[in-house]
Amino acid sequence: MKKRSQRMALLQDLAQRKKRQADQFLADSQARVNQGEATLLQLEQFLGEYQQQFQQQGQAGVAVGQMLMARAFVEKIEASIRQHRETMKTNAEQLQQVEQYWRQVYGHQCAMKNLTERALTQERAEAEKQLQKELDERSQRVRTPFI
């Protein structure tokens, strides 16, 4: 039968793999949130620039059809921004869940590491105790004077 520390080392290895996977989930989720923020900023900047450009053109005079098309385009951009904000909200909630999962996995991995170290320390102490016992027994043996 394997020593306790060896069994614990296998469990610690599994916990480390799970933590690496959780690290990847966390990084992916953070990247999604960051990308969403950058995309939202770009959409809002584009909308502002488009509206400013259209106002400048409008000062020179714009046909009704052109104005209606521009308004429809602005509404589509605004709808995209609203939809993107909802997606960002979902991504932020998922990030919170992933962070909570990561903390849980990290705590489990640390606990497994501590248990493995404790088992190793205990096994070393037991081995030293056994060795000392054997040394004591050998020293107590009476040697015959015939040697």
User: What is the pLDDT at residue 143?
Assistant: 66
Neighbours of 29 (CB within 10 A): 20
Please state the domain count of the chain: 1
Residue 67 lies in a domain: yes
Confirm whether 132 is domain-assigned: yes
- Tally Cβ neighbours within 10 Å of residue 42: 11
Of the candidates 34, 13, 12, 29, the residue with the CA atom closest to the CA atom of residue 101: 29
Instruction: Return mean pLDDT, the chain.
Output: 89
pLDDT at 137: 85
Residue 32 predicted with pLDDT over 70: yes
Domain enclosing residue 51, as ranges: 4-136
Which CATH number fits the domain that encloses residue 94?
1.10.287
pLDDT band at 1 (very low <50, low <70, confident <90, very high): very low
pLDDT at 144 (0 to 100)? 62
Domain assignment of residue 142, yes or no: no
Nearest in space to 15 (alpha carbons), one of 97, 107, 95: 107
Total-model pTM: 0.72
